[in-house]
Structure 1
Amino acid sequence: MVRFILSFFGGIFSLLVTGLIFGMLILGGVFWAYGRDLPSHEQLAQYAPKTISRVYSGEGRLIDEFAQERRIFVPGEEIPDLVKQAFVSAEDKNFYHHHGFDPRGMAAAAFQAVASRGENLRGASTIPQQVTKNLLLSSDRTVERKVKELILATRLEQSLSKDQILELYLNEIFLGQNSYGVAAAAQTYFNKTLAELSPHEAATLASMPQAPGRYHPVRAKETLTNRRNYVLREMWQNGYIDEATYRSEADEPLRSVQNGDFPAFAEKLPPRDYFTDEIRRQLSEEFGQDEFFGGGLTIRATVEPHMQSVAAKALQEALEDYDRGRGIWHGVIETIPAEKLSSEADWRGALYDVKTAPRDIPGWIPAVVLAVDGGNARIGIEGIEEDSDGHWIPAKDAQWARPRLEDGSLGPKAQGAGDLVKVGDVVMVRVMTNDSDGSFLRWTLRQVPEIEGGFMAMDVNTGRVIAMQGGFSYQSSVFNRATQAMRQPGSSFKPFVYAAALDNGYTPATIVVDEEIAINTPDGMWRPKNSSNRTYGPTPLRTGIEQSRNLMTIRVAQDIGMDTVAKYAERFGVYDDGQMKPFLANSLGAQETTLFKMVAAYAMFANGGERVEPTLVDRVQDRRGRTIYRHDQRDCVGCAQNALPVGTAPEIDSNRERVMDAITAYQITSMMEGVVKRGSGKGVNLPVPIAGKTGTTNDAKDVWFIGFSSNIVAGCYLGYDTPRTLGSNAYGGTLCVPVFNAFMREAIKEYGGSAFKVPEGGYFRKIDRFTGARLPDSATGDNVISEFFREGSDFNTGMDYIDGGFEPKIMPGVDGLPLTLKSLPKSGAGTQGSKTVTTSTGQKKVIPRKTDFGTLSSGGLY
């Protein structure tokens, strides 16, 4: 009997052992099969999570940030123990004791879930399992994924320390509200750093991983509070906090940014503007979208915040002044349905949801019309409390404008606000104050102008862009008209034609005929004219640019050749290489370019003819602090020495390419000073020497002014996005010069300015600026100007005379079409090898083969 019992139990034991062995073999086979093709866990040691790229101003102030996943990476040793303890208690109680997975924890979690009927839920996956799932695997709910997760978690424990695993987890985990990692979440929910979190706030963050979408601090406040208190109890039971702390922290109300208890971190940032968005556009192209939005870049911008504000205000005022001067109302942004106006809470909520209302214009506030009474309109204003009398737009505030009727025509001038707005209309308003004491006068209607424009200013020596405004309001339109809008520069292009001429034998005193020109084209006879519709006869080159003479510019361009003009424009970066078309009309600025390129090109006049590359960024560093881009490539000669000889300083070698002769740069700068003093830019009124050029295109569709001091160049253009005339009284000198003045008055306070540097290799001579005649050194008067000439060019030498146009000829590129010249004879009489012409005043002039000082050059004919 005993033998039978022993045999029976021995057989059972053998079966159990055999089954166990086979079970282990099968389990081992399963793990071997699933473990063969798993991703390498070792790559987690070099894992670099996507982190926020941040933009700082020159003084180190954070001005913008960009991210696909809003994450702030924090090294493990800098994460407070309180935060680590909260997450370990919530997600993996035995984290410091298991080896990747926790059978005890799984069983305990299952038991608690059953015993509490689902009230106390704890994740069954360990922190290493969650790391491998988040970083190496998918989130599929399958047995296969779970097996792979267990295998990788075990391997991860063998290659990384507990602290390294926890660092990965706390920086990677998604915690809702587009916040990845504990540092970003602390900022998002509490506007605090990790070190500033209290236990109940750390427990709130630790509650999120289980269901970030479900635990919303406003919509699911009670559910999140219960989960938070569960985490606090776990922290107490695990010995991380005492009972008194647990009970006091559990009694704390759930406060958050989303519930309005703390100011949002984003409120500390200035609103995104054209400058930082252009940085995004340029660096995304340079480094790639993934690196820019996820590389944790630290970007030092060139922007000067004060000057950026000045630029924005100057451009906005010019655009608004022009728009209000038209007297047409188009200021209704949206209309809120009547049923959403029944209570203050309703209309405030509806107004907040109107995202098309620009909130980045200083002093402007969105408002909704609540009632119209006797010509006055009662308004509800965003962020402004109601008072007993309400807020009103008085009738007189609307009497400047005419409404546009349903058929598109304009109605009569408004007599009251009710002629412009109706109940439910969302409009922009601002406070009107008394100029003398700043006291409140009334609320006044505003509207985003239909006309747009751009402004840009940069350092002429370094290329650092200190201000850029791409339109009236970034929130109204993100299209950057300083860098993206292709516009005709008009007469602001002429300096490049004259610079090419000065480098090809002309002097500022060379005489060019200012008379009518006509040419047959496939589209008919084209007769370019000066803006005054007059001609002025033989005129010095300087006057051609000061008075912006179209006919002289065309003759000069034809004489030196449009290929030469095109090469100059491309050398200065106005157009990309090979992109400028060699048509004479382009000498008048007919081919489109951007304000960004034009301002950068003018900087090369200002700095003496050296290439300068415009930049919005001084430096870019990667997440480890290594510099991966630096704009300033100058060499500091001697800076590596431990000590320099007494009385010496380091030498800065710019190594910049010269794009034009320094004498030519000074001559063209001097001529553009004349534009400001006597010509189309004479509205400039600043305390330092200024040079510049206006531009007004055909039918005044675009108006420009680009000017510079010895240190700063700035440019502006105004025009409709879909080009149409600005009116007969619109000129660069009337619309853009005031913007330039307003900005440069502030810029000069910071950057100063001096007389433009006179280069070596030239000399001054006094001439008559009307006739080009040489004058004695003692001459004075309005007609006298001291002109700068190149050494070796005296009054008996000049450039070869180009005899084009005085005889019928075929224009290059125009098949068989004759060139005709008005007011000039076909052939001259006089000395051999010369031509005689009749000027507009009836005088006879002889043009010799070689143009001398005070003589005529026909220039090119169009």
Structure 2
Amino acid sequence: MRILLSIFGFLFLMAVAGGAGMLAIFWHFGQGLPDYTQLENYEPEVMTRVHASDGALIAEYAREKRVFVPISAIPPKVVDAFVAAEDKNFFSHPGIDFASVLRAAVTNVVNMGTGKRPVGASTITQQVAKNFLLTNEVSYERKIKEAILSFRIERAFSKEHILELYLNEIYLGSGSYGVAAAALRYFDKSLDELNIEEAAYLAALPKAPSNYHPVRNHDEAKARRNWVIGRMLEENYITEAEAQAAWSAPLLGKSRESVDTYQADFFAEEVRRQLVDRYGEGMLYDGGLSVRSTVVPRLQDIADKALFDGLVDYDRRHGWRGPITNIDLSGNWQQALREVETPADIPWDRAVVLDTDANEAKLGLMSGEQGRIPLRFLTWARPWQKGQTLGAVVNRPSDVLKPGDVIYVKHFAELDGETLPPNTYGLRQIPNVNGGLVAMDPHTGRVLAMSGGFSHDLSKFNRATQARRQPGSAFKPFVYLAALDKGFTPSTLVLDAPFVIDQGPGLGKWKPGNYSGQFYGPSTMRLGIEKSRNLMTVRLAQTIGMPTVVDYAERFGIVDEMPDVLSMSLGAAETTVMRLTAAYAELVNGGKKITPTLIDRIQDRRGNVIYRRDDRECSLCQDVEFRNQMPPDLPDNREQLTDPASAFQMVHIMEGVISRGTGRTIAELGYPLAGKTGTTNDSRDAWFVGFSPDLAVGVYVGFDDNRSLGDKEQGASAAAPIWKEFMRGALEGTKAIPFRTPPGIRMVRVESRTGLPAGPGAQDVIWEAFKPGTIPASNDNVIDGGYSGSGNSDNSAGAVSGPGGIY
């Protein structure tokens, strides 16, 4: 008996000592541990997603691709799969699974000396402690700290919260963090769309994601998936029949190719810049913002194609600059062709010239197939020469191409109704000219489409928002608008004659001229815009005063500060496509101030709206059951920039630009449209900006290095065709709507040359818009800007408050 008592006493003392030792260890390692209570307000690094106006995804920004999903929204089959695979006693242990620890210890003792990797027994709670609060250091000290934190976490949080932390944080390979991101990455499905075998596959990944890729390591991945299915069966999460069906199912990974994603690279990058400016990079890449942008994918596709095709058309008019490179055909030309780097967003094929004869060039394609370029598809490719001029005429393919040349080609099955021989291609080259296009809702400022250049891969520089260029004659409508606000009418006569002004000491004399080099005498203000007369514009600006012109330029947001210099009236002040398009939008909307915006709404990770474009109050819009009733009227708080009647007169004048003036090639579209061309000195910049009643569009074309587009190029030839093709696509299938006429405007039939009301039998009659009491009975006064012909002109000379003046 005494011996028995001694043994029990010894064991008791050992237990006490062991317990004390354990307490000492826990006390020692429990000091200075990370604060586990921070897990209560878990906010993981979540990707920001940018959506188009129709909800389609256009961009994702993240350091870690993660989609946060609360535990209440994670399907039970996903939870069951992970618990069965990773921690079968999760819902019953206190943070440490002692049975699993003992089993792992025995296994590791048995395996000592065999070279096998030690097995672990980490619970889901321990993995949460390690992933959130500790490092991946392999040591006993880290495991002890992990165990201590696991006990504390279990006491502080519910099992559901611990699972939410685990399933949203865990790395599951291929850049995917959390089960929601992994479901999209591997199966292109949301969590609630997963079946048993797919949930089991995701649960197979935590141990070694890179070892179980569904394509590269298919057999290993399927075996591991089937093991998880077996564990789910053992734990009675699924039935035998469900397990058999899941085991027999193939493992088919599917990338996110089917996701409804649109390419709008320049637009998305501009949104990204605005988000960084507003919230900082941390919020952008980790904050899980949901951004609803204003872009309309259909219009964006039309914009990209119109600008792409228009730049190519301009480039082809100015000749061939040579191949991408030249490769040696004596080796493996197919491999050499593949190694030639080209932008990913160019929709053409790469090819190498294998041979030429009198009728065609023979091509080798990356696929190994061969093709041909007929001579008639090469005749455009005359050599480019300095000054955007052309060299000798092409008579044979060898005048353009030689064997080994690597080129871009476009396949043609038919052309203008003619069926072409198989494997027929046309020669292409990347333009070195560039441009930008903006399409905007003129009533709200919402940017519906924006293209900032030929290729985003080649250049991230956005020529729609970042390129500051002179608008040239596209600025003139605002000079004429200022005159209309001062009492002039579209029929007011302005002198079109030589004009010279002394610019000041040492600056010489400024002598503007018309593009045609001709002078046309007294002409109506309408004609000054339709035919883009420089001399009339200068005289008009001189008459109303440059301070007034400066005020209108700044009021309409074209520039922030404009020098008070007469040459500015011809569009010498630099602006952007976005700003000028917004200014034109403010003409067609009746003179209301708008702010261009690319973002409709921003929500934080919890769905709270933190930004809304339309900030007007609407008490009747809240908690309303929709029963086909009319929406409530909201206040129009837009600033009035100009007289609505003057704005309409300007719109009506610019309709004439398309009907009879510099933009008349656009008239064939058959819609009410208005706009203005713009060309700067030496044809360095080409513009066309205009609108329909509900769509404002601006197009700019030019070289990034500001060189000339060529002597014969202007807004009508380089920019207007792009604008026309965009409008053709944008308005297709819509009804023709006339421009809205404000109250008080009277439409009068006038003679186009004199601007006076037309009598019976008059020829060349047009409709003109007049404000009340301004219909002219005669046109004796001619505005000359106070210019005396001496070469000196004073800003105040000849300034009048109405349409009077001296001739």
The TM-score, its normalising length taken from structure 1, stands at 0.81
* 1:446 maps to amino acid: R
Cα distance, 1:169–1:657 mapped onto 2, change above 3 Å:
same
For structure 2, the 5+ residue unaligned runs are none
Secondary structure at the counterpart of residue 716 of structure 1:
strand
Indicate the residue corresponding to 2:69 in structure 1.
Answer: 74
Correspondence 1:276 to 2:262: no
Indicate the residue corresponding to 1:839 in structure 2.
Answer: none
Indicate the residue corresponding to 1:567 in structure 2.
Answer: 551
CA contact (8 A) 1:508 1:542 kept: yes
CA contact (8 A) 2:492 2:782 kept: no
CA contact (8 A) 1:675 1:681 kept: yes
Cα distance, 1:652–1:781 mapped onto 2, change above 3 Å:
farther
Correspondence 1:34 to 2:32: yes
1:537-616 superposed matches below 5 A: 537-576=521-560, 579-616=561-598
Deviation per CA, 1:431-455, whole angstroms, max 9, x where unpaired?
Answer: 3414337666512232222211111
Q: Which of 440, 443, 448 is the matching residue for 1:466?
A: 448
In 1, the alpha carbon distance for the partners of 2:19 and 2:205 equals 42
CA contact (8 A) 2:616 2:634 kept: yes
* 1:788 maps to amino acid: F
In 1, the alpha carbon distance for the partners of 2:646 and 2:129 equals 67
Secondary structure at the counterpart of residue 499 of structure 1:
helix
Cα distance, 1:336–1:265 mapped onto 2, change above 3 Å:
farther
Indicate the residue corresponding to 1:498 in structure 2.
Answer: 480
Indicate the residue corresponding to 2:714 in structure 1.
Answer: 731
Q: Which of 85, 90, 101 is the matching residue for 1:106?
A: 101
Shift of 1:730: 0.9
CA contact (8 A) 2:407 2:429 kept: no
CA contact (8 A) 1:53 1:298 kept: yes
Cα distance, 1:495–1:226 mapped onto 2, change above 3 Å:
same
Indicate the residue corresponding to 1:744 in structure 2.
Answer: 727
In 1, the alpha carbon distance for the partners of 2:785 and 2:191 equals 80
Question: In angstroms, what is the RMSD of aligned CA positions?
Answer: 4.1
In 2, the alpha carbon distance for the partners of 1:323 and 1:646 equals 53
Indicate the residue corresponding to 1:376 in structure 2.
Answer: 361
Shift of 1:664: 1.7
Indicate the residue corresponding to 2:701 in structure 1.
Answer: 718
* 1:357 maps to amino acid: P
In 1, the alpha carbon distance for the partners of 2:594 and 2:680 equals 27
Deviation per CA, 1:313-364, whole angstroms, max 9, x where unpaired?
Answer: 222221111111222144527969976646xxx67xx73x766333464xx3
Cα distance, 1:229–1:21 mapped onto 2, change above 3 Å:
closer
In 1, the alpha carbon distance for the partners of 2:149 and 2:567 equals 70
Indicate the residue corresponding to 2:397 in structure 1.
Answer: 416
Deviation per CA, 1:510-536, whole angstroms, max 9, x where unpaired?
Answer: 333332214255354432222122233
In 2, the alpha carbon distance for the partners of 1:195 and 1:391 equals 49
Correspondence 1:285 to 2:249: no
Q: Which of 339, 345, 350 is the matching residue for 1:367?
A: 350
* 1:137 maps to amino acid: L
* 2:521 maps to amino acid: G
Deviation per CA, 1:265-292, whole angstroms, max 9, x where unpaired?
Answer: 3665233433333333323333333333
CA contact (8 A) 1:86 1:232 kept: yes
* 1:379 maps to amino acid: G
Shift of 1:693: 0.9
In 1, the alpha carbon distance for the partners of 2:781 and 2:287 equals 58
Q: Which of 403, 406, 417 is the matching residue for 1:436?
A: 417
Correspondence 1:624 to 2:624: no
In 2, the alpha carbon distance for the partners of 1:334 and 1:231 equals 55
Cα distance, 1:78–1:282 mapped onto 2, change above 3 Å:
same
* 2:307 maps to amino acid: L
CA contact (8 A) 2:540 2:783 kept: no
Kindly, what percent of the aligned residue pairs are identical? 40
CA contact (8 A) 1:797 1:850 kept: no
Correspondence 1:152 to 2:149: yes
Indicate the residue corresponding to 2:47 in structure 1.
Answer: 52
Correspondence 1:701 to 2:684: yes
Q: Which of 792, 795, 801 is the matching residue for 1:820?
A: 792
Cα distance, 1:770–1:211 mapped onto 2, change above 3 Å:
same
Deviation per CA, 1:550-603, whole angstroms, max 9, x where unpaired?
Answer: 222223333333333222212211123xx3233322221112211111111101
Indicate the residue corresponding to 2:408 in structure 1.
Answer: 427
Deviation per CA, 1:434-480, whole angstroms, max 9, x where unpaired?
Answer: 43376665122322222111112222222222222222233443332
Shift of 1:157: 1.4
CA contact (8 A) 2:493 2:779 kept: no
In 2, the alpha carbon distance for the partners of 1:641 and 1:171 equals 33
Correspondence 1:131 to 2:131: no
In 2, the alpha carbon distance for the partners of 1:430 and 1:780 equals 55
Indicate the residue corresponding to 1:760 in structure 2.
Answer: 743
Of 113-122 and 668-677, deviating more is 113-122
In 2, the alpha carbon distance for the partners of 1:436 and 1:573 equals 48
Cα distance, 1:88–1:68 mapped onto 2, change above 3 Å:
same
Indicate the residue corresponding to 1:682 in structure 2.
Answer: 664
Secondary structure at the counterpart of residue 466 of structure 2:
coil
* 2:518 maps to amino acid: R
Aligned pair count? 795
Of 101-110 and 602-611, deviating more is 101-110
Correspondence 1:301 to 2:293: yes
Shift of 1:711: 1.6
* 1:695 maps to amino acid: G
CA contact (8 A) 2:329 2:354 kept: no
Indicate the residue corresponding to 1:259 in structure 2.
Answer: none
Deviation per CA, 1:718-754, whole angstroms, max 9, x where unpaired?
Answer: 1112221111221112222222222223333455443
Secondary structure at the counterpart of residue 658 of structure 2:
helix
Shift of 1:541: 2.7
Cα distance, 1:277–1:106 mapped onto 2, change above 3 Å:
same
Secondary structure at the counterpart of residue 436 of structure 2:
strand
In 1, the alpha carbon distance for the partners of 2:593 and 2:373 equals 54
In 2, the alpha carbon distance for the partners of 1:266 and 1:668 equals 48
* 2:276 maps to amino acid: S
In 2, the alpha carbon distance for the partners of 1:157 and 1:857 equals 93
In 1, the alpha carbon distance for the partners of 2:153 and 2:527 equals 79
Deviation per CA, 1:170-191, whole angstroms, max 9, x where unpaired?
Answer: 1111112111111221221233
In 2, the alpha carbon distance for the partners of 1:430 and 1:499 equals 49
In 1, the alpha carbon distance for the partners of 2:108 and 2:328 equals 49
Deviation per CA, 1:236-276, whole angstroms, max 9, x where unpaired?
Answer: 444445678667756766543xxxxx354366523343333
Correspondence 1:165 to 2:162: yes
Cα distance, 1:440–1:121 mapped onto 2, change above 3 Å:
farther
CA contact (8 A) 1:323 1:451 kept: yes
CA contact (8 A) 2:266 2:450 kept: yes
Shift of 1:696: 0.4
CA contact (8 A) 1:229 1:250 kept: yes
* 2:489 maps to amino acid: T
Secondary structure at the counterpart of residue 130 of structure 2:
helix
Q: Which of 441, 446, 453 is the matching residue for 2:435?
A: 453
* 2:17 maps to amino acid: G
CA contact (8 A) 2:292 2:602 kept: yes
CA contact (8 A) 1:611 1:656 kept: yes
Shift of 1:303: 2.6
For structure 1, the 5+ residue unaligned runs are 257-261, 809-818, 827-833, 836-846
CA contact (8 A) 1:329 1:403 kept: yes
In 2, the alpha carbon distance for the partners of 1:645 and 1:206 equals 47
Cα distance, 1:784–1:272 mapped onto 2, change above 3 Å:
closer
1:386-397 superposed matches below 5 A: 390-394=370-374, 396-397=376-377
* 1:289 maps to amino acid: E
In 2, the alpha carbon distance for the partners of 1:273 and 1:494 equals 32
